[in-house]
Amino acid sequence: MQLDMHYYAVYALARAAGMKPKSARILAQASQFVDDALDDKMIYLDSDVAVLPLPTSHKPLDYANKIAAEQWKIWIPFHFLPGNDPDSTTFTERLVCRKNSPLAKKICAFAVEEGSGRQGLHLLGIVSHVFADTFSHHGFIGLNREWNKIINKTLRATNLEKESSVYRYVMAKLDEFRARGIGTLAEILPVGHGSVATFPDRPYLKWEYKPEDGRPLIQRDNPKDYLDGCRELHKLFRRFLARHPEHQSPAGAVGWQKIRGTVAQLLAVQGSKEVRIEAWKKAIAKKELFPTKRSDNQLNYNPKMWSANRIREAFFNGTPLGRFDGSLFVQAAWKYQNHVIHDLMPGMGLFL
């Protein structure tokens, strides 16, 4: 998924679930920042204090994508949560990301249980990102595995007219993605859904491909998968607010059935990321998803808001680390990663 979903859709769904605007902003910022938290250098603040950031993503063709340890620490827990399908016959199959899997449900329960305190919304945002990605990244593994390879000529969009501008746009993006991989190890070390480029990240797209390992043709319906994901996110936010009412808005919640049709229409918008973002912002402004306040119309994501530089600035301006959202995100990211790698995955037999 991209910015339109991880930030704007998450914000809208949280508000519809009954969350306060301020709380929903922190949640949405954390959700999208999972894709933008690239800092990995120690942040030295003075002789007694330092912050060790945890990168939760890498650039698509970053060399670190190829390092097995980094894949286990970043792509597996933050972007391609293993499904651990009980019907799997091999360890590789158990690592395949699955929609709304038992492991995905466990991280949601963790976010609800650990929601009190200053990190609660940041942790929920991280979990929201990972959980949402199971509805778009399913069928792929966050490691270099033959499983991810496809027969290139079989990849195609099935619900776009070849003469349409949207079709040309999608195919141009595919060509651009593949061109950037030339001269690198990207094409021979397939990580995640790199072999199908951004096809899983476009909410409106229906598409198909044939795996290289002999599995039959796989057909994907992003609008349906994304709608299921939005429903489950709305449900998660309702659960969180029931447990942590301090984040509830006095206006209350809007039931899923009341917004389902609008959400489906937004997911069907065919266009660039910017076009899709504008559609969500307009729906919010028109009060099509929840009772809108003035602050809801001032929604603009800033990828630098919680960067290492902002953590330094906040500290030297007198803001305690325990009260600055950037450092709270770092703490929540470490907490989440440790729980998945050291508690959940060993508990499900995926690690020793």
Domain ranges in the chain are: 3-142+217-347
Q: 161 pLDDT exceeds 90?
A: no
Q: What would the two tokens of residue 126 be?
A: 């991280």
The span from the CA of 113 to the CA of 232, in Å, is 17
Q: What is the mean pLDDT of residues 133-158?
A: 92
Give the per-residue pLDDT at 235: 99
- Asked which of 187-191, 222-226, 333-337 is least confident by mean pLDDT, the reply is 187-191
Q: 186 pLDDT exceeds 70?
A: no
Q: What percent of the chain is modeled with pLDDT above 70? A: 92
Give the per-residue pLDDT at 183: 40
Give the per-residue pLDDT at 63: 47
| Closest-CA residue to 101 (of 134, 130, 142) | 134
| Cβ-based neighbours of 271, under 8 Å, separated by 6 or more | 166, 169, 279
Label residue 59 by pLDDT band (50, 70, 90).
low
- Asked which of 155-159, 191-195, 276-280 is least confident by mean pLDDT, the reply is 191-195
Q: What would the two tokens of residue 260 be?
A: 């389902």
Q: 216 pLDDT exceeds 80?
A: yes
Q: 62 pLDDT exceeds 60?
A: no
- pLDDT tens for 306-340 read 999 999 999 999 999 999 999 999 999 999 999 99
97, β-bridge pairs: 82
Label residue 170 by pLDDT band (50, 70, 90).
confident
Average pLDDT, the chain: 91
